[in-house]
Amino acid sequence: MSKIKVSDLVAEFLEKREIKVVFGIIGSANSHIFDSITKRGYTQIVCVHHEQAAVMAAGAYFRTSGKLSAALVTAGAGSSNAITGVLSNWADSIPCLIISGQEQTFHLADHKDMRMYGIQGFNSTKAVADITKFAKTITDENLVQRELEYASFAALHGRPGPVWLDFPFDLQAKMVEPRDWKFEDPSYKPAFDAAPAIIRNDLNYVLECMDNSRRPVIWGGHGVRLAGAKEEFRQLVHTLQVPTLLTWSAMDLLGENDPFYYGRAGVSGQRRSNFIIQNADFILVLGSRLSLLQAGYDIKNFAPKAKIILVDIDPKEWHKYHEKYDRFIRMDCKYFINELQKQATFFRRENWSNYCREMWQKYPLLEECHNDEGTNYINSYWFVNELNQYMKNDQIIVTDMGTGLLSGHYSIKLTQNQTMFTSLGLGEMGYGLPGAIGAAFTEPRRQVLCLNCDGGMMMNLQELQTIIHHQLPIKIVIFNNDGYLMIKHTQKLLFKGSYNSVNSATGVSLPNFAKLAYAFGFEAYRIDAYAKNRGFIPEILTRFFGNMKPAICEVFMDPEQNFYPKVKGVPQDDGNIVPASLEEMSPLLPYDESVKAMPWALSERSKAINR
């Protein structure tokens, strides 16, 4: 077999791994790699305008398609710019490959003890070592093929995550003799590859607990999606016929109209779902790390009467709340679901099912706090609820942070064919646009809705040009709340409303997004109280969603709007703030109503709350 350039080997690797789309920015230090990929003609390079956007988009590509993508970045600032995207994917266990250019190998050797290498290089793999599954600077051309194989394998196996390979400039041009590719590691043994007797024991214990329970709940998490077990999960839920909740990162596992689906619990979750999870006596958690925003501010108050079994591939998640779990089962979610399905039977509890349906009907999503009648603004929760009737049956929804995140994950009602995600572990402002771009390249026929806000837009504003350049079918909703609404609420709580650095009056000004939309070449729409009062919103949204062209719709909401319902700290007469448990969402219900909604597990803390 004749020798080929290392950069040609990288391009060949992408084809052999069936990586059809990558995202990146060219520089001198990665120019060989760009040249080889372009000449090979298999992998499309999507040129973005900031390296963090490249890595976020590559992760979003996987979130939507389940297929690996890569980010191509250059040396120096090109690599350092990528780090936020790497951390975002690390926090959410999203696999992606970062291929970086680097200074020449002799600079790495001569300057290894210096802060910088050559012109602008630095030790990028050391910088990302703690937020990647594998990171290596390759200095031997004969190891390139092996490292590419291992890196891509590591990204996808076990608990997934990003990997980083650093290629010095001169190494990219060296010649190497290739061999056949080997992408499976024969020595790899899955962490959940336990003895059959142990697996049987775990499965039998789960079924025994479910059989002995009177108020069982299944809580589906991100690990189910990562395992590619969406359909298997749905089948298991329908076999067991147990009330099922979903985390925000897994909210598209079941459609809104699924008969066993009862919403999304959490600090900013749905009130009816919080009542259900808090009253449960058995919870089977599949692939969720039970973050603070899911389980509440004090884990001791979460589901106080429930026996909890956690199924997860990462044992570190057990150590976090080990005193709370009855059992931890270290297993891939798809494997566990398939094995449980073989033994599963009907576990419907009629009284419990009736209670769940009662909560579902008694506490609709839109509450009085979402009523914007008589105001000069659009309530974001009400507006997202309106969007449900205009979205495509296979719509992809990506949110940024703030209003888009909270209102979107609360009010969206997904069908079985829709996809929704965001960055939840890191929660970085600016995720929305690159996330939408990555999603749009997976299936060009599917329309993407990006729920954004005025503050988040500014963090990756430059990617509007990427959308326009490729004429991507991305519809962007911008909630205009004059700055950083979540931080305004923080300053109200901590500093009695003494604002700084949160709005135009205190130093944070934002552009006219209508003019910006026209400047970039987007269709532009505006929704405000005038449009609502005159009945224009249906016509505007019909036009907004009515084609596959890039479009921006700016929604003017109350710059002081509360994010309700929400579990908040409750001030007491003595000046202390009591962390409420999940059933006590603000606006607080009358105590008598809380008693009725919590017949099995009303906490002592609820009795002490001033209402």
Pinpoint the residues of the chain covered by CATH 3.40.50.1220: 196-362
Percent of the chain exceeding pLDDT 90 equals 88
pLDDT for 220 equals 98
β-strands 216-220, 244-246 pairing: parallel
The reported pLDDT for the residue numbered 346 is: 87
Q: How many residues comprise the chain? A: 611
Overall average pLDDT of the 153-171 stretch: 97
Distance CA 523, CA 438 (A): 21
Question: What average pLDDT does this structure show over 93-110?
Answer: 95
3-state SS of 531-547 is HHHCCCHHHHHHHHHCC
pLDDT tens profile 395-442: 999 999 999 999 999 999 999 999 999 999 999 999 999 999 999 999
User: Average pLDDT of 455-472?
Assistant: 98
pLDDT of residue 317: 87
Give CA–CA dist 390/406, Å, rounded.
Answer: 20
Mean pLDDT, residues 156-166 taken together: 97
Strands 569-571 and 577-579: antiparallel
Residue 18 pLDDT: 97
Tell me the pLDDT tens digit for each residue of 203-249: 999 999 999 999 999 999 999 999 999 999 999 999 999 999 999 99
Q: What is the model's pLDDT at position 184? A: 80
Q: What are the pLDDT digits (tens) for 27-48? A: 999 999 999 999 999 999 999 9
Give burial (CB, 10 Å; 0-12/13-18/19+) of 579. Answer: middle
Distance separating alpha carbons of residues 61 and 105, to the nearest angstrom: 32
* pLDDT tops 80 at residue 195: no
Residue 602 banded pLDDT, cuts 50, 70, 90: confident
**Residue 410: burial class (beta carbons within 10 Å; 0-12, 13-18, 19+):** buried
Looking at domain 368-556, its CATH class is: alpha beta
Q: What's the pLDDT at 189?
A: 62
Name all contacts of 258-264 with Cβ < 8 Å and 24+ positions apart: 258/234, 258/416, 261/237, 262/356, 262/359, 262/360, 263/360, 264/409, 264/410
The pLDDT of residue 343: 92
What pLDDT is stored for residue 397 in this prediction?
98
pLDDT at 63: 98
> Does the pLDDT value for residue 573 go beyond 80?
no
Q: What is the mean pLDDT of residues 354-365?
A: 97
Selection from 65, 142, 58 nearest residue 434 by Cα: 58
Q: For residue 575, what pLDDT band results from cuts at 50, 70 and 90? A: low
Residue carrying the six token digits 């099995």: 600
What angle (nearest 5°) sits at the alpha carbon of residue 388, between those of residues 385 and 393?
165
Given a contact cutoff of 8 angstroms between Cβ atoms, the answer to whether 328 and 318 are in contact is yes
pLDDT digits (tens, 9 = 90+) for 291-310: 999 999 889 999 999 999 99
Say how far apart CA 6 and CA 12 lie, in whole Å.
10
User: What's the topology of domain 196-362?
Assistant: Rossmann fold (3.40.50)
Q: What is the mean pLDDT of residues 88-95?
A: 98
pLDDT digits (tens, 9 = 90+) for 59-80: 999 999 999 999 999 999 999 9
The mean pLDDT of 137-146, rounded to a whole number, is: 97
Band of pLDDT at residue 361, cut at 50, 70 and 90 = very high
- pLDDT band for position 604 (50/70/90)? confident
Please give the C-alpha separations between residue 444 and each of 133, 396, 440, 447, 467, in angstroms, as whole numbers: 31, 11, 6, 8, 12
- Per-residue confidence (pLDDT) for residue 188, from 0 to 100: 65
pLDDT of amino acid 523? 98
Statement: residue 105 has pLDDT above 90:
yes
Dihedral of alpha carbons 246, 248, 250, 253, sign: positive
Mean pLDDT of the chain: 95
What local confidence, expressed as pLDDT, does residue 601 receive? 87
Is residue 193 predicted with pLDDT exceeding 90? Answer: no
State the average pLDDT over residues 91-107.
97
Say how far residue 156 (Cα) sits from the centre of its chain.
17
Residue 23 has pLDDT above 80, yes or no: yes
Cβ pair 56, 86 in contact under 8 A: no
Q: Where in the chain is the domain with CATH 3.40.50.970?
A: 4-176, 368-556
CA diameter of the chain: 81
Q: Which CATH architecture has domain 4-176?
A: 3-Layer(aba) Sandwich (3.40)
Percent of the chain having pLDDT more than 70?
A: 98
Give the neighbor-by-neighbor strand order of the sheet with 282-286: 244-246, 216-220, 282-286, 307-312, 327-330
Q: Per residue in 315-332, pLDDT tens?
A: 888 888 888 999 999 999
8 Å CB contact between 429 and 457: no
Do strands 585-586 and 566-567 pair parallel, antiparallel, or not at all (unpaired)?
antiparallel
Other Cβ atoms closer than 10 A to 85: 33
